[in-house]
Structure 1
């Protein structure tokens, strides 16, 4: 038996190892060398002690030879046990050896079941999450200004990234369709009627009437010739021209006087008539079927006009530009409000037990739901991963992780065997056998 025989767990050419596995492999080889070296040492001691005993060196040689002999037996037995986990010792197909390569699928299933039953059980998950106190830790973290700044910056980055990924044409189409569908589904006449009634009751329409009267008077002042031309153009052809001019001038002066009086007199009868008209119109919007149908037809016609659809679509461009600008500006109102909200949430989580309990409850319930609903899928990840490895790869991966520690079994077997052999030889001598 040579050290090479005892150290057959190396890698073959073409095997890819991660840097971590390379370090583990070096540690495993060192420990194998130490264990093998100790075996060779006790073998050499046994040989020397046996020669010394036969050469008449004295009784001590028998004690040393017995200890060394038992140490060799212990070392070889433990080497066989450790090696049998990963391969056939010396390449011999001894039954119940190479346990991991030959039973890797069963080991993977057992490992998956073990994890599912002991780590993914509902009571275990709930107890662990309660012990963590996630809400309290999150609150303490968010309450620190530098962390709030970091979260705000990450949110701004996420918003910018999301807006970059979104296709403007798709968003505009969705917004336009949603607004149009919502407007088509809701009758606006009753609502308009109620709004108009409240406006009239509060006198809110008076400013609009004032503006209308002022604009009408100013228009008449600036467009005298247009009014005269319209009156003269509508006169019969047989009337003299000077009569048409005098009639047009009289009509113009009466219109101008009427507009001025209506503008300057809040109690003008025309204003009262307009109030009555608006009141009747508001009532008709709510109760008159014909008026409501006409308003709905007008609404549908307006909504489906290309100009209105373009206006709705262009709203997204405005909103998108506003959001991007606010997300990029660290001093924007949006980011300042987001930062303040994060700090406030952190403070509340650290001071309000009820809020912490509610958040912890949500997280726990969500986690338990995921774990309970997908426990088989989670454990199947372990089982399927192990099953996808070939036997040699499985053996090598496991040996790289635990093989170094298993070499201490060989060291302990050598030492304990030697001590046991020494004790047995001593008791035998004391008994006179």
Structure 2
């Protein structure tokens, strides 16, 4: 398997490297001191009786120091470069260590009890809500979300979006029959007298136009009279027709029960019924719909709609003072405030987050822990060893120092016991 070097420096590596070298020098210096003391005491032990105890202490210190040096070194590399069995444990068993670490994390840290218990205890919704309720945090979230949204809008292809809009329009607007739907809406409007507002608007507009354009109305009437009619008769007819039509429109406006109003209501009610139940009317509406569907304006409408929406969104997201950004920021603050103060809502959100985490943990804990195993497998053995030694090597040097001290004490103790037993045997 191809391995990857660990090239990213961990903060503090330089300080750890200096501390590791210092502790190695201290431990090695103690071994050297013990060797010098052993050499001196060994030479003088026949002349000075108590030098035997010093020699025994120095000898034990050397044995302890060398043994612990071998043990510590064997974790990371072969001592003295010799391929001694069961040495260089970390680089040789790196993959097994990674697999064991991944399994440990999977079963101990990603268990349901640990993950769900922690989530229930920290109150996620209240913490998130309190953070979002702060205006500066809401502004930060809004800014980040705006940048992300603008990036998404930039990446979206206009043609693709227009295709989606066109397909949605065809599926939801053009595929269903229009006649029955329009008829049902029209029947409901007529039943609720909602058509009266439209009729009043038309009548108001008609009255306003007639009152302001008597000459234009008069010309429409006089142009239809025979040419042999005298001019003064034309003017009389124009004036009379204008006054009658204007009076009629005003009468219709003033009387809610006017026959024209009732006739319009009956016509609209019959039209709504025909749109729902008359096959001929339904077919006629469908033909009109088919003509509209075949028009290139449908595609043009999709393009124009998307262009307008996109431009509005991009401009609104780019401007911190826009209504879109302001509304989003206010919504975030409101959501945060509700999460922080509404116990029922906070409980629902916590339950939702806990359920989602439980689903992820139960279904993907092996894959999550597998990241550790796969990452360790990709590491270069040599650099992995160096990184691990930087993290724990300084503390391991204390093992060498302690071994030197304990070896010295053990050597003195063993020599003292042996000397005492020997003296006792001689005396007996």
TM range (shorter): 0.7 to 0.9
Q: 1:281 to 1:344 in 2, by over 3 A?
A: same
Counterpart in the other structure of 2:32: 40
Deviating more after overlay: 290-299 vs 203-212: 203-212
Counterpart in the other structure of 1:210: 203
1:385 positional shift: 2.7
Q: Does 1:26 align with 2:12?
A: no
Residues 119 and 125, structure 1, Cα contact 8 Å, conserved in 2: yes
Residues 43 and 68, structure 1, Cα contact 8 Å, conserved in 2: yes
What is the aligned counterpart of 1:352 among 328, 335, 342?
A: 342
Pairing 1:241-260 to 2, within 5 Å after superposition: 242=228, 256=242, 259-260=245-246
Counterpart in the other structure of 1:222: 216
Distance in 2 between the 1:375 and 1:394 partners?
Answer: 25
Distance in 1 between the 2:265 and 2:8 partners?
Answer: 89
CA offsets per residue over residues 203-223 of structure 1, 9 Å max, x none? 223224304634774678426
Counterpart in the other structure of 1:192: 182
Figure out how many residues of one structure are paired with residues of the other and give that number.
410
Distance in 2 between the 1:66 and 1:95 partners?
Answer: 30
CA offsets per residue over residues 344-393 of structure 1, 9 Å max, x none? 22222222333222222222222222232222322332222333345434
CA offsets per residue over residues 230-267 of structure 1, 9 Å max, x none? x48xxxxxxx9526999998997786466424322215
Residues 87 and 99, structure 1, Cα contact 8 Å, conserved in 2: yes
Q: Does 1:264 align with 2:245?
A: no
What is the aligned counterpart of 2:329 among 335, 339, 346?
A: 339
TM-score (norm 2): 0.83
Q: 1:15 to 1:331 in 2, by over 3 A?
A: closer
Q: 1:216 to 1:377 in 2, by over 3 A?
A: same
Structure 1 unaligned blocks of 5 or more: 1-13, 233-239
Q: 1:129 to 1:269 in 2, by over 3 A?
A: closer
Deviating more after overlay: 262-271 vs 346-355: 262-271
What is the aligned counterpart of 2:386 among 388, 391, 396?
A: 396
Distance in 2 between the 1:92 and 1:156 partners?
Answer: 61
Q: Does 1:406 align with 2:396?
A: yes
Counterpart in the other structure of 1:6: none
Q: Does 1:49 align with 2:41?
A: yes
Structure 2 unaligned blocks of 5 or more: 424-428
Structure 1 consecutive aligned stretches of length 4 or more whose deviation exceeds 6 Å: 243-255
* Local SS of the residue matching 2:86: coil
CA offsets per residue over residues 11-60 of structure 1, 9 Å max, x none? xxx99673654544333322222211111111112112222323x2341x
Distance in 2 between the 1:300 and 1:306 partners?
Answer: 12
Counterpart in the other structure of 1:366: 356
Distance in 1 between the 2:92 and 2:331 partners?
Answer: 59
Residues 145 and 343, structure 1, Cα contact 8 Å, conserved in 2: yes
1:168 positional shift: 3.1
1:177 positional shift: 2.4
Counterpart in the other structure of 1:5: none
Q: 1:336 to 1:19 in 2, by over 3 A?
A: closer
Distance in 2 between the 1:390 and 1:339 partners?
Answer: 47
Counterpart in the other structure of 1:118: 108
CA RMSD of aligned residues (A): 3.2
* Local SS of the residue matching 2:146: helix
TM-score (norm 1): 0.82
